[in-house]
A and B are shown apart, each in its own frame.
Chain A
């Protein structure tokens, strides 16, 4: 089973235990796989929550959706909460219809995403993977 030949890195940042990964302008196979790979790298490196930021993303195609489902799967396997931030209205509707928002939160922006994750991680109620669309 093949792998993408493209190995160029995607932009990401760490905020404590949280990794923020920035998707590119068009989330297709090439760019999607880079995001997915980076998410896995961050999870393997011990990060405990993920934010995928779509600030620069205009269009998400079917392959992009599939790859985001892969990110969800990876995050769930690592019990890491996942937030999609800065998702435009069209992509947000798609994520909602296709069920991605049942596994990941949507946040207005990166700061909002970090705030949501800090709530999730806050004691004493313990960790809980948030479900549902943030408005």
Chain B
């Protein structure tokens, strides 16, 4: 094979290498470094660099350098006037060893910049221009043969420079898109935080209205979240049901305080007024564009019962959204396990008994089973985070006593035995 043919094949092969390296966008600097190697290796150039033009800072930033020595600067001042000259430079490859071109370069770029390039032993300067925008420059030292660059070799470098320029340009676009995406993510997170804070504020407002149930909404939110996670819901849906739990009683805001706080058994009219709160909650929540689905429905149906004896619509079984069934269990569990002025909380054995008695009537067995499993995991120390234990108070769940009760109830609920017994 003649030298000329070998050289041509090597140049073609280098172009293929260049394409491969440019396609690898995982690490920008590594990509540029590889492309610099390709350029140097295709022509047998001992040293060189690729620098990108940073318009905002008026400088050339060296992204990759090879053989220029450790004193190579990381950046190089370049004002916009010089950048403009580079972007329109003709010829496209400027030789610093050609006396005629050197004079031209000095005129265009000034003696300071030209001198600095010569100090780096740069002999060929190839601007990277994409869509008439100057994006950077390839700086090449001398060839290992000691000969000047031929016109063919300059053409090879110019071709490679176009590809590398596009690579840098695309990377910039990608960086901008990523930056925007990051900003949007930040804004989204801020909005979520505001939304959550607002939800918490509402929950606090709801609980303020009912002096007996301080913290109830927050606890229902947390229990709902735990149950849903135990049932295998996605994190996004879990987040949604937590919000539903926080807001399930929002309709109480439109119920008279005297009725909510009545220290005696309320009459039928008052009861009817109080029972308006799920539907009122729906009216309040429905116009809001929540980031999570079905929150208004969960509030509306959290007093529905599986057996159809609930309110406001007397829905049965599958007609009730699962989310509402979860909030219903969480709501009742908190009601049973917290002291009220007119009523002490139930001991855990009574709670278990209530669940057993009302599974399939008031409560969905699969939801009760999930709550019991989550409790059991905490009792048996399977979960590090003992959230329910904290909410219930550390002495409420006695491991020795609770675990067998929970195991037995879970078995019944999962086998359907409880439902059969309660129906009998």
Contact = CB atoms under 8 A, between A and B. Distances in A.
Chains A and B come from one and the same complex: yes
Contacts of A61: 13-14, 17, 41
Query: Which of A2, A69, A72, A102 counts the most chain B CB atoms within 10 A?
Result: A69
A63 B38 contact: yes
A93 interface: yes
A2 B38 CA distance: 16
B38 A70 contact: no
A30 to B, nearest CB: 10
Interface residues of B, number: 36
A98 B144 contact: yes
Nearest to A2: B29
A120 B378 CA distance: 79
Contacts of A70: 66-67
Contact of A1 (B33, B41, B147): B33
Contacts of B39: 66
B62 A69 contact: no
Contacts of B147: 99
B64 A94 contact: no
B67 A94 contact: no
Query: Which of A1, A2, A62 counts the most chain B CB atoms within 10 A?
Result: A62
Contact of B17 (A62, A90, A98): A62
Interface stretch (B3-11, B216-224, B340-348): B3-11
Interface stretch (B43-51, B229-237, B273-281): B43-51
A73 interface: yes
B42 interface: yes
Given A1-B62, A62-B37, A93-B1, A98 B43 contact: yes
Contact of B44 (A64, A65, A67, A93): A65
A70 B66 CA distance: 7
Nearest to B43: A98
B1 A69 contact: no
23 contacts: A2-B27, A2-B29, A4-B30, A29-B37, A61-B17, A62-B10, A62-B14, A62-B37, A63-B17, A66-B41, A66-B45, A66-B66, A69-B40, A69-B144, A70-B67, A94-B10, A96-B3, A98-B41, A98-B143, A98-B144, A99-B145, A102-B146, A103-B144
